């Protein structure tokens, strides 16, 4: 681990103080390449990517739930309209607009959730303005507005509600945009570094990937081409600073590089400081066979049968073959277990059964740490067997 830290720091020092922009970006690309090619570092970066993926998955799920609830609301609104034989041109037009977005026609760059929200709200507002407000009161709520707080006036604004997930989606998206714009999350920092590495060393490979991702007239290849041209401009300029840069402004990369470097050094150092203490620990040996039996000798007295295809067997085997704490979301991704809650539940049950069958403290064997995940205590050695 010490060699990895020294190598990483050497690559970092090679670019951070470079005078020329091209030399800075080229050496920065070497630094990112070193991370990609070093398993211990790649694993730490993969943990950040997993966190990023989980953030987007969470928003995507909120959006799906919001769309489902909005469609249910639309069904109810149409039922009210039919029951009361309401018909006028404006209403027909607004319903058609909703159904256009519902079928994903001409959605373009806008969020389908926002478009459906806007159009169903327009339907309800139209009904209200045409005298049908009492019929749609189930969708009306009143929110306090404090715009005139200094005058001591409390104003109530009527809004329409039909999906709690609309609010959650908007909050999550607002938080995500802030993190993206301000580079708060470490995975946004890695994204900037990786873009330099990709443009310089992996351009042809990336263009092939992007070519498959073209959607509805939006061509990411154009953006990537602009990035390539800008990097070539920097390369030709040598030590002078080119004008009109949009993507590769050096000052925008120095802080993200520093944060990623500090993160990697910190995580590697944690592992390094654990080693001497762990070497002194007298280890208890356990065995894990292909049938999912976790046992210690004598097996006829101390054996916990988990089942060959059970999640518990897969989790134990994963933790036995991966040192250190493993993020819950990382375990979920690697094992294809959708719910992190399932993993936590299974680990809780395993702890109880380990105490029952192996006469070992379950929490001591399967250790958990907030923000770090789970691991098998280093004082236990689990040996996989092919019996």
pTM of the model: 0.53
Lowest mean pLDDT segment, chosen from 160-174, 197-211, 240-254, 262-276? 160-174
Q: Whose CA is closest to 271, among 317, 334, 323?
A: 323
Of 41-50, 224-233, 318-327, the range with the lowest mean pLDDT is 224-233
Mean pLDDT, rounded, for 349-375: 91
The pLDDT score that the predictor gives to residue 102 is 85
pLDDT score recorded for residue 241? 77
How far CA 37 is from CA of 42, 219, 235, 266, in Å, comes to 7, 30, 25, 19
101-160 pLDDT, tens digit per residue, is 888 755 444 578 888 888 988 999 999 899 999 998 888 775 555 444 455 555 555 566
216 band by pLDDT with thresholds 50, 70 and 90:
very low
Task: Decide if pLDDT at 364 tops 90.
Answer: yes
CB 319 within 8 A of CB 330: no
Percent of the chain with pLDDT over 70: 83
Q: How far apart are CA 377 and CA 296, in angstroms?
A: 15
When the pLDDT of each residue in the chain is averaged and rounded to a whole number, the result is 83
| Domains in the chain with CATH codes | 1-201+250-280 (no CATH), 283-384 (1.10.10.10)
Q: How far apart are CA 295 and CA 217, in angstroms?
A: 59
Averaged pLDDT for residues 6-22:
91
| Cα–Cα distance for residue pair 256/187, rounded to 1 Å | 9
Is the pLDDT reported for residue 64 higher than 60?
yes
What's 83-104 look like in SS3?
HCCCCCHHHHHHHHHHHHHHCC
283 φψ region: left (φ > 0), alpha (ψ -120 to 50), beta (else): beta
Q: What is the pLDDT of residues 265-303, one digit of tens each?
A: 998 888 766 655 545 557 889 999 999 999 999 999 999
Q: C-alpha distances in angstroms, 324 versus 85, 267, 321? A: 66, 11, 10
- The span from the CA of 136 to the CA of 74, in Å, is 12
Please tell me the distance from the alpha carbon of residue 246 to that of residue 249, in angstroms, as a whole number.
7
Confidence tier at 182 by pLDDT (50, 70, 90): low
């Amino acid at each position: 681990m010490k060699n990895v830290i020294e190598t990483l720091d050497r690559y970092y020092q090679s670019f951070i103080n470079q005078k020329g922009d091209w030399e800075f970006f080229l050496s920065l690309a070497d630094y990112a390449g070193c991370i990609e090619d070093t398993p211990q570092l790649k694993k730490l970066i993969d943990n950040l990517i997993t966190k990023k993926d989980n953030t987007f998955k969470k928003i995507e799920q909120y959006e799906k739930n919001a769309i489902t609830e909005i469609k249910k609301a639309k069904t109810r609104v149409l039922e009210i309209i039919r029951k009361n034989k309401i018909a006028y041109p404006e209403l027909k037009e607004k319903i058609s607009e909703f159904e256009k977005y519902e079928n994903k026609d001409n959605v373009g760059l806008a969020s389908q959730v926002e478009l459906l929200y806007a159009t169903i709200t327009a339907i309800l507002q139209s009904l209200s303005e045409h005298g049908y407000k009492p019929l749609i009161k189930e969708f009306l709520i009143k929110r306090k507005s404090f715009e005139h707080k200094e005058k001591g006036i409390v104003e109530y604004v009527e809004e329409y509600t039909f999906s709690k997930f609309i609010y959650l989606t908007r909050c999550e998206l607002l938080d995500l945009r802030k993190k993206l714009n301000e580079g708060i999350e470490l995975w946004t920092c890695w994204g900037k570094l990786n873009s330099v590495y990709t443009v310089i060393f992996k351009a042809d490979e990336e263009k092939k990937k992007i070519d498959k991702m073209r959607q509805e007239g939006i061509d990411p290849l154009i953006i990537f081409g602009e990035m390539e041209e800008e990097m070539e401009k920097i390369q030709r300029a040598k030590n002078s600073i080119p004008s009109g840069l949009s993507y590769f402004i050096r000052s925008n990369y120095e802080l993200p590089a520093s944060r990623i470097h500090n993160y990697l050094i910190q995580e590697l150092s944690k592992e390094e400081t654990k080693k001497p203490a762990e070497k002194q620990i007298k280890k208890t040996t356990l065995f894990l066979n292909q049938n999912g039996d976790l046992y210690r000798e004598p097996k006829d007295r101390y054996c916990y049968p988990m089942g060959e295809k059970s999640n518990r067997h897969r989790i134990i085997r994963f933790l036995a073959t991966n040192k250190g704490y493993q993020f819950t979301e990382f375990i979920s991704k690697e094992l294809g277990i959708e719910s992190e809650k399932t993993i936590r539940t299974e680990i809780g049950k395993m702890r109880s059964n380990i105490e029952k069958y192996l006469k070992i403290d379950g929490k001591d064997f399967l250790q958990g740490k907030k923000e770090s995940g789970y691991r098998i205590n280093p004082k236990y050695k689990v040996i996989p067997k092919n019996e």
